[in-house]
Amino acid sequence: MGKRRSIKDLIFLEYRRAAFIPIVVIELALLGMYFGITSYIQGSSISLIDEEASRNIGEIASREAKNIVRQVEGIERLSGILQKEGMRFFSSPESFPLPAGEPSFGLAPNGVFYKTRDNGGSSLWYSSDTRIGMPERAKARATEAFDPLFKAVQESDAKIVAVYFNSYDSMCRYYPFLPKVYTVFDPHMDIPSFNFYYTADSAHNPSRQPIWTDTYLDPAGQGWMASCVVPIYRGKTLEGVTGIDVTIDSIVKNILDLSLPWEGSAFLVDKAGVIIAMPEPIESALGLKELRAQVYKSTVKEDTVKPEEFNLFKNKDPGVAAQISEVFSAGGLVQDFTIGAKTWFLTDSIIESTGWHMMTLVDKAIVRAPIVRLDALAKRFGYIAFLSMLAFYTVFFALLLHRARRVADRISRPIIFLAGKSTEMRTSPGTFSLESSGSDIEEVSLLYSNFGAMAQELAKLYTGLEGEVELRTRELKTANEELNKAYIQITQQEKMASIGQLAAGVAHEINNPMGFVMSNVETMKDYWRRMTRFVSALSAGQEGRADVDGLRKELDVDFMLSDGEDLFKDTIDGALRVKNIVNELRSFARSSDASEIVDINRLVESVLKITANEMRYKIELTAELGELPAVSCNQGQLNQVFLNILVNAIQAIPEKGKIGIRSWAEAGWIYVSFRDSGSGIAPETLGRIFEPFFTTKEIGKGTGLGLAVSYAIMRQHGGSIEVESEPGQGSCFTIRLPVGGRA
């Protein structure tokens, strides 16, 4: 036999157990559900924002690479002009006049034949190893004809630092003029052995097209640079090469000027994996320092390329080298790139004419920062809620235990009294007096008296219990009011959860127009610079008609004028799209208990816009919205009903399918139906779909509240939801609302 307890203790313990355990379990379950949903939403949001960022970064990197291609092509076009004029010169040098009179030449102490006086043109240098005779002097004199074109090319683009012609016999004509040029180059320099010469010869460039050198240290003392060189032939004879020098500093500045989202940075790598140019953020990420300046301890005697640590294929971190090799092989895809403990988005856009790779790095932590901050805020709210609940239930259970003792005492007192009286009656029958039954039989009189006493005690107990019933009724009424408040909160939470699931889609809808708005603004910025240059040239009034037409063609002014209006129109359209999306979301998300006159078709269209991204590429949508009278209802609640049913329809379609929406008015009612070609609902579960917390979805993918909340909302509006479904054939949910509106 178990331990005996008093009736008072037994009532107290059972009361405490029945109240304490269910409340604790429910509250812990709600907290777990909150943090679980928060964690799931964060994971889903990070996946979606990673996907969106990857797409945007790829598009922006491709666009910026095209900008560099246009700049490279501009320099190549200038090289082509130099090549054409050079070949024309060597075909008949005697027909070219001297642009600045007779030049002055001399022999330096180190044996170099050079141009001694600056006449506004190029400097000239002949290797001390070349024997200077009449032909060499004649060539040095005649090539003065190159100077006006060299000057025009050098001044046409701020990135160009020098224009030169190098001959097969180690003559260098270099613009701008270098004083004491004989001290700049090594006196014994064999020009054809350097990459800015042999890169363009017949063995390396049989097509005779403009070609770019690898990054090298300039013998003329300009530092690190790359050259666009072209061969100059006289018939089949290579007379030399002409080239345009672009310093690494100018390339780096160009890269630094790129405006990339999420604090991204771009850098240039040649086809051999050597970094051509990089801004400071890339230097920090790769642990390198860009060679923007070079101290010349002596003249350059041979090809000098960047140190081996700038070759990414030979990076000291094998992981970096392997990842770069994979990126080169992938051909432009956005990939994850890990350096140490940090992960980046890495894109690769190839500049075909040079073989360069323009790569961009975007820190994933910066992309995900808004989601991480929101998750931290949500968790902070969760912890605050947990502590608040802990404090509340500590006080609540203290009061509950006190109340339990009082209730146990009130219930047990009459029973104890009756038991005591019974014991008194049993132990002291002579001293216990009750009214006589009037019977002359002693046993009957005693029994009557005992039952009379028990009846009186039972009456007292009944009176006490009646008071308790009234008290319990008030408590149940209070609990029901609290339950209704909780239901309203759950309804709003279900709506916000639905909005949260669609937030990434809305973000995508906003990002798309904002993407091409930003792109158009960048393009208009470029057009502005080019038009400013063209207008400035016209205002100067020094060009002839041919020069103006040439500049107009070079800057593509006609195209800019025709394209500008379209760019402005597209930009305005994009901004209006963003404005409409935000207005729709604000209208949908607002919460109010008030009824208002509403166009039901307008609510359906609003929900379709909110869920547009969920249906894209997956759903074939048809909408037949008939003419409906306006009704009085709660707009926010009906929005939630339409959204719950439409999202369920989308989720019921595993890959691709159809959804049809129809609205009509008939016999004093408004009907809206949602028909899908999804998986349908089994007959055994069809009758339970409106039960709270009942769901057929996987754990974590549904709360079981959506349809229950929708059903309750329609009941509040005097309407109903009807469903027809067949497994494998789809479902049709029909909403019925009285024309008179909400009661």
324 and 348 in contact (C-beta within 8 Å)? no
Rg (C-alpha) for the chain, rounded Å, is: 44
What's the mean pLDDT when you consider all of the chain?
78
**Residue 258 in this model has a pLDDT that exceeds 90:** no
pLDDT digits (tens, 9 = 90+) for 339-394: 877 888 888 888 777 778 888 888 888 888 888 888 888 888 788 887 887 888 78
Confidence grade of residue 458 (pLDDT, cut at 50, 70, 90): very low
Top mean pLDDT of 203-212, 579-588, 709-718 is at: 203-212
**Residue 400 in this model has a pLDDT that exceeds 90:** no
pLDDT digits (tens, 9 = 90+) for 114-158: 999 999 999 999 999 999 999 999 999 999 999 999 999 999 988
3-state secondary structure of 726: strand
Confidence grade of residue 469 (pLDDT, cut at 50, 70, 90): low
**Residue 671 in this model has a pLDDT that exceeds 90:** yes
In sequence order, the β-bridge partners of residue 244 are: 163, 228
Fold of 592-738: Heat Shock Protein 90 (3.30.565)
**Residue 187 in this model has a pLDDT that exceeds 80:** yes
Spans of all domains in the chain: 592-738
CA pair distance 576, 548, nearest whole angstrom = 39
Give, in order, the Cα–Cα distances in Å from 14 to each of 11, 59, 404, 405, 467: 5, 67, 9, 11, 21
Q: Please tell me the predicted confidence (pLDDT) of residue 147.
A: 94
User: Pick from 305, 207, 154: which is nearest to 164 by CA?
Assistant: 154
Q: Find all residues with CB under 8 Å of 713, minimum gap 6, and list them.
A: 491, 634, 637, 638, 640, 641
Mean pLDDT of all residues in 634-646: 87
pLDDT digits (tens, 9 = 90+) for 612-639: 888 877 899 999 999 999 898 888 888 8
Phi (first) and psi of residue 283, to 5 degrees:
-55, -45
Give, in order, the Cα–Cα distances in Å from 225 to each of 222, 671, 725: 8, 73, 72
Which amino acid, one-letter code, is at 424? E
- The alpha carbon of 352 is separated from its chain's Cα centroid by a whole number of angstroms, namely 29
Mean pLDDT of all residues in 1-21: 68
Q: Please tell me the predicted confidence (pLDDT) of residue 462.
A: 46
- Token look-up 């091409």 returns 516
Q: Please tell me the predicted confidence (pLDDT) of residue 129.
A: 94
User: Pick from 643, 655, 564, 584: which is nearest to 617 by CA?
Assistant: 655
Whether the link from the prior residue into 281 is cis, omega within 30° of 0, is: no
**Residue 498 in this model has a pLDDT that exceeds 70:** no
**Residue 396 in this model has a pLDDT that exceeds 70:** yes
Mean pLDDT of all residues in 482-502: 55
Mean pLDDT of all residues in 300-311: 72
The 3-class SS string of 55-97 reads: HHHHHHHHHHHHHHHHHHHHHHHHHHHHHHHHHHHHHCHHHCC
CA pair distance 434, 456, nearest whole angstrom = 11
**Residue 503 in this model has a pLDDT that exceeds 70:** no
Lowest mean pLDDT: which of 42-51, 396-405, 505-514, 659-668?
Answer: 505-514
User: Pick from 62, 254, 295: which is nearest to 160 by CA?
Assistant: 254
Between β-strands 171-175 and 335-339, what pairing exists: parallel, antiparallel or unpaired? unpaired
Q: Please tell me the predicted confidence (pLDDT) of residue 481.
A: 64
515 and 523 in contact (C-beta within 8 Å)? no
pTM over 0.85: no
Lowest mean pLDDT: which of 401-415, 433-447, 592-606?
Answer: 433-447
Q: What is the torsional sign of CA 208, 210, 211, 213?
A: positive
Which string of DSSP letters, residue by residue, matches 143-210?
GGGGHHHHHHHHHH-TTEEEEEEEETTSEEEEES--TTGGGTS-TT--GGGSHHHHTTSTTT-TT---
In sequence order, the β-bridge partners of residue 567 are: none
Query: In this prediction, what percent of the chain has a pLDDT beyond 70?
Result: 74
Lowest mean pLDDT: which of 30-39, 488-497, 510-519, 603-612?
Answer: 488-497
- Token look-up 């970064």 returns 57
In sequence order, the β-bridge partners of residue 661 are: 623, 674
Q: What is the torsional sign of CA 234, 236, 238, 241?
A: positive
User: Pick from 663, 708, 657: which is nearest to 680 by CA?
Assistant: 657
What's the CA dihedral at 628, 632, 634, 640 to 10 degrees? Answer: -10
258 and 268 in contact (C-beta within 8 Å)? no
CA pair distance 318, 313, nearest whole angstrom = 9
**Residue 516 in this model has a pLDDT that exceeds 80:** no
Residue with the larger pLDDT of the pair 610 and 10 = 610
**Residue 683 in this model has a pLDDT that exceeds 80:** yes
Q: Please tell me the predicted confidence (pLDDT) of residue 90.
A: 93
3-state secondary structure of 560: helix
Residue with the larger pLDDT of the pair 548 and 152 = 152
In sequence order, the β-bridge partners of residue 99 are: 101
